[in-house]
């Protein structure tokens, strides 16, 4: 009888271990099915993001070509001439890359002014100038939310260091081409 009890105990232990093993396997399968793909290793998460960024962001050479295409229309546009400023951004990466002379080579004072204000427009600044207001409202990405005064109060905390440096750089370049800067609404 003691042998029979020992056999029952062994079978019960084996059944408990098999049940525990089955629960672990099922839990593992459920985790694999509901866990986000690639979250287990930093490398697999970063690779698609880098690929997506490479596909979305133009290379420096492509950005320069697009700027050259915009500028080649005419050297001195008439005041009512709307130039070819229909691209979404004059300088697409002015919020992330410090600009150099080669980035703005060939841009007019007007384009430099628009590029400077493009930095502010990205953050929702509403422009008092009818010319700037009309220009930025034609852009699909623009969402004016803050009056000039509201924006000026918060610009120190909204603009990153690159944007601040680029706005100053563009303003200086604009003033070099046209003392006093480009005159809006004329």
pLDDT of 81:
38
**In degrees, to the nearest 5, what angle opens at C-alpha 48 toward C-alphas 45 and 49?**
85
77 and 48 assigned to the same domain = no
182 vs 61, residue with greater confidence: 182
163 and 85 assigned to the same domain = yes
107 and 163 assigned to the same domain = yes
Sign for the CA dihedral angle at 97, 177, 185, 79 comes to negative
Q: How many domains does the chain have?
A: 2
73 and 158 assigned to the same domain = yes
Percent of the chain clearing pLDDT 90 (strictly above): 49
Is the residue at 182 inside a domain?
no
pLDDT of 35:
67
Question: In the predicted model, what is the mean pLDDT of the chain?
Answer: 76
Assess contact for 119 and 159: CB atoms under 8 A.
yes
22 and 106 assigned to the same domain = no
User: Closest Cα partner for 127 from 70, 78, 87, 184?
Assistant: 184
User: Closest Cα partner for 155 from 131, 132, 110, 125?
Assistant: 125
| pLDDT band, residue 87 (cuts 50/70/90) | low
Q: How many residues does the chain have?
A: 186
pLDDT of 17:
79
Assess contact for 114 and 85: CB atoms under 8 A.
yes
pLDDT of 120:
95
User: Closest Cα partner for 171 from 120, 106, 122, 109?
Assistant: 109
pLDDT of 54:
44
| pLDDT band, residue 155 (cuts 50/70/90) | confident
62 vs 101, residue with greater confidence: 101
| pLDDT band, residue 106 (cuts 50/70/90) | very high
Asked whether residue 183 carries a pLDDT value surpassing 50, the answer given is: yes
Asked whether residue 166 carries a pLDDT value surpassing 80, the answer given is: yes
pLDDT of 25:
81
User: Closest Cα partner for 118 from 105, 127, 108?
Assistant: 127
pLDDT digits (tens, 9 = 90+) for 6-57: 777 877 877 887 787 788 888 777 666 776 554 444 444 444 444 444 444 4
pLDDT digits (tens, 9 = 90+) for 70-82: 433 333 334 333 3
DSSP structural state of residue 81: -
**Segments forming the whole domain that contains residue 117:** 59-177
**In degrees, to the nearest 5, what angle opens at C-alpha 168 toward C-alphas 126 and 68?**
85
76 and 144 assigned to the same domain = yes
67 and 48 assigned to the same domain = no
The alpha carbons of the chain give a radius of gyration, in whole angstroms, of 30
């Amino acid at each position: 009888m003691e042998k029979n009890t020992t056999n029952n105990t062994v079978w019960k232990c084996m059944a408990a271990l098999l049940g525990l093993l089955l629960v672990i396997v099922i839990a593992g399968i459920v985790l694999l099915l509901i866990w986000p793909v690639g979250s287990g290793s930093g490398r697999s998460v970063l690779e698609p993001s880098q690929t997506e960024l490479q596909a979305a962001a133009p290379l420096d050479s492509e950005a320069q070509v697009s700027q050259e295409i915009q500028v080649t229309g005419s050297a001195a546009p008439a005041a009512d001439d709307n130039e070819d400023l229909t691209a979404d951004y004059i300088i697409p990466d002015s919020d992330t890359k410090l600009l150099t002379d080669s980035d703005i080579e060939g841009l007019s004072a007007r384009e430099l002014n628009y590029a400077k204000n493009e930095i502010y427009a990205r953050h929702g600044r509403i422009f008092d100038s009818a010319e700037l207001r009309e220009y930025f409202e034609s852009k699909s990405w623009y969402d004016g939310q803050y009056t000039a005064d509201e924006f000026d109060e918060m610009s120190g905390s909204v603009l990153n260091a690159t944007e601040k440096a680029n706005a100053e750089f563009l303003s200086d370049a604009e003033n070099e081409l046209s003392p006093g800067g480009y005159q809006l609404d004329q």
